[in-house]
A and B are shown apart, each in its own frame.
Chain A
Amino acid sequence: MATTQDSTRVVGRGDWAGWLKLLCASLAIVVVWGWGLPAISRLPPQRHYESWLDDHRIDPSAMFYTEVEMFEPILKRREAR
């Protein structure tokens, strides 16, 4: 892939605005992941959905078939035929 290294920049020590933006973004992450998402996970429908995924050994965020545990018995069954 082609590079876009020139598009990045190096900010001087005096660029407090950049550091402030970084602090704000970090705080937003802390709030969303530290409070928001756990609160969503506590909701009964979400809790039910997550435990259903666990019971079926499904990770919806898996990128490749080898990362989904649920595939293993299906593959073993097919290979045994």
Chain B
Amino acid sequence: MSTNETTPTSASDDRPQPKPWISDDLLAILVAAVILIISLVAVMGFGQSTVSVEAEATGSPISTTVYSNPLSSWIGKPGKWTLSVLDSLAPLDKETGTRSPETLIKIASTFVLLTLLLAGAATLRDGSRRLLPFVGGFAVVFLLALVAYTLAAQSAIKSYNLEFALWALLIGLIVSNTVGTPKFLRDAARTEFYIKAGLVLLGAEVLLPRLLELGVPGVFVAWVVTPIVLISTYIFGQRVLKIESRSLNMVISADMSVCGVSAAIATAASCRAKKEELSLAIGISLSFTVIMMVVLPAVISFVGMDPIIGGAWIGGTVDSTGAVAAAGASLGDEAVDVATTVKMIQNILIGVTSFLVAVYWVTYVERDPQGQRPHASEIWKRFPKFVVGFLLVSVLFSVIHAGLEQGPDVVDAVSKGLSKEVRGWLFCLAFVSIGLETRFADFAKYLRGGKPLILYLCGQTLNLILTLLMAWIMFGWLFPPARS
């Protein structure tokens, strides 16, 4: 949360409000912790079952415990649809010929869960007198998010990597730029809060041992090139392009060099970027991802590049995770294996990136140019605490994943059954909220001179060259894969 943010006032009460006793960062951590604890208790307490499987070595049956999340049948979002939007909300049961209400029930119960949690958080922060305006506004923001999710679930839209963030933003922008955003909606359009809570939940999916999945070659392709490109692009933006906003520069650099939308969200929150800066970075990234996911595999096939080197090149350069899978798979099994693993390592790097960007921001960017270096206590005071929550959750789930015999199954069930879906809804609500608080004119000043676009293009060109070079050195020269 920005330090210059004012406490919002309700429609009926424009007097200055007292400072809340609990910060948004701590509330975001609290909300995420409640969701993760509920999910963990559900999995460990009610989701265990014993099944009999055939032992690989002997072939004789052995008993093993499997984990599932009983809450998964209560949390959901609109499903994929192709011809009729009804298939998204109430899919047709092919056997009975009737429409199943299961998805609608899941969406309704997700709404109830989120309303309870977020209204509780709003009450803790602002007191009970603001509870009703929040709940009323939240119901509308949730409805707009539902529309955005449904638009994003159309199969042609999905097939070209046009993520829900884009449609959520569009829906919010349409409302704010036509009839305007009513005051009662502003209470519930809590962008920063939704993003922070979503990021803390994302920590459960950032499993640190997976950073080493590809061994030494993966370390070099994902760990070395990614920071070099990020830092070079940022310096290029500051020194050569002289981009006025450091945070816009950082969000575009991270979005392009790490892993697209999720990295943009994490870095934007760490460096307190403005909402329209995050929207702009995501818009540019998604537009180029659509092009790259089609062009890059075609170039690789045309020049007859080794599929493993091609896969590493795709994994390290195509921004979006889903697009990497699609582009890699078009080159075959070997390529997709390497491409998806490189991208997964980059996905996990967002934890480290987010932390380092936050440290750089509080110690360097936000320091007083005339003053001395800030003390550790001052740095801690200004440090975005939700990043600490994000990292703690990541470490905790990494320990569960690596330390328990059934750790991977437990983490998988916790994430799949509840936290992943809730995280998606929180990000969708955040982008609707950004749209509700943004005018088209807000983008104009950033687009002047086309600097963000030039920054992205130059950074991506460097990324393409360095990643290809490193992929060739690692997978083509030093560690050529043994092929059976």
**Complex: A41 Cα to B6 Cα, angstroms:** 47
Q: From residue 20 to 78 of chain A, which have CB atoms closer than 8 A to chain B?
A: 21-22, 25-26, 29, 33-34, 37-38, 40-42, 46, 49-50, 53, 56, 58-68, 70-71, 74-75, 78
Contacts of A60 in B (CB 8 A): 158-161, 293, 320, 322-323, 325-326
**Complex: A15 Cα to B182 Cα, angstroms:** 13
Query: What are 10 of the A-B contact pairs (CB < 8 Å)?
Result: A3-B6, A7-B439, A8-B437, A8-B439, A10-B180, A22-B175, A38-B84, A63-B321, A71-B325, A78-B213
Please, which residue of chain A has its CB at the minimum distance from the CB of B265?
A63
Contacts of B84 in A (CB 8 A): 38
**Complex: A4 Cα to B17 Cα, angstroms:** 19
Q: Are A67 and B420 in contact (CB under 8 A)?
A: yes
Supply 20 further A-B pairs (C-beta < 8 A) apart from A10-B180, A59-B325, A78-B213: A1-B195, A3-B191, A7-B438, A7-B442, A8-B438, A15-B180, A21-B177, A22-B179, A33-B151, A38-B84, A60-B161, A60-B320, A61-B157, A61-B162, A64-B205, A65-B340, A66-B420, A68-B322, A68-B325, A75-B344
Q: Count residues of A near B (Cβ-Cβ below 8 Å).
A: 47
Contacts of B415 in A (CB 8 A): 66
Interface residues, chain A, CB within 8 Å of chain B? 1-5, 7-11, 15, 18-19, 21-22, 25-26, 29, 33-34, 37-38, 40-42, 46, 49-50, 53, 56, 58-68, 70-71, 74-75, 78-79
Interface of A is mostly: helix
Whether A5 contacts B278 in the complex (CB less than 8 A), given A61-B161, A63-B261, comes out as: no
B460 at the interface (CB under 8 A from A): no
Interface of B is mostly: helix
**Complex: A50 Cα to B157 Cα, angstroms:** 10
**Complex: A73 Cα to B316 Cα, angstroms:** 21
